[in-house]
Amino acid sequence: MEPPKIWREKRQRYLALGISCKKCGKRSFPLSEYCPYCGTNDVEEYRLAETGKILYFTNVSMASNEMAFNAPYCLGIIELNDGIKVTGQIIDCDYKDLKNGMEVKMVFRILARDGHEGLIKYGFKFTSI
């Protein structure tokens, strides 16, 4: 029996890992065996930067059952200081105070709950610095 996907991907999810290509020098996320730019498998893991800035953001008021406990919440596209762009929830701030270009840092929090007594999924969100 194969473990659930959440457990197979635990290391990369909890450590925020990407890849750095030894051939073309570009970095990418998520973790992969191949460089999405040049196709080589000559890659190495690296840990994503933990700070960055908000490029775009929006307020989500209607959420899926899995995310309902968060609603309403803010989602943003964050450009990390290493150039990688990721999507993440922006927490611990008022939506009215958010601005494009605002500096944020990555924090480890509950992402979702699978049912009332189900599996709790952890990962990264962002908060203002």
> Both 41 and 85 in a single domain?
no
> Both 54 and 27 in a single domain?
no
Domain CATH for 100? 2.40.50
Which carries the bigger pLDDT value, residue 5 or residue 51?
Answer: 51
Q: What is the pTM of this model?
A: 0.81
> Both 17 and 62 in a single domain?
no
pLDDT per position as a tens digit, 26-50 = 999 988 999 999 999 999 999 999 9
What's the mean pLDDT in 67-81?
Answer: 88
3 preceded by a cis bond (ω within 30 of 0): no
> Both 102 and 119 in a single domain?
yes
Q: How far apart are CA 126 and CA 89, in angstroms?
A: 6
* Cα dist from 85 to 4, 69, 80, whole Å: 27, 26, 6
Domain span at residue 3 reads 1-47
Which residues are bridge partners to 89 per DSSP? 75
> Both 55 and 25 in a single domain?
no
> Both 69 and 124 in a single domain?
yes
What's the mean pLDDT in 55-64?
Answer: 89
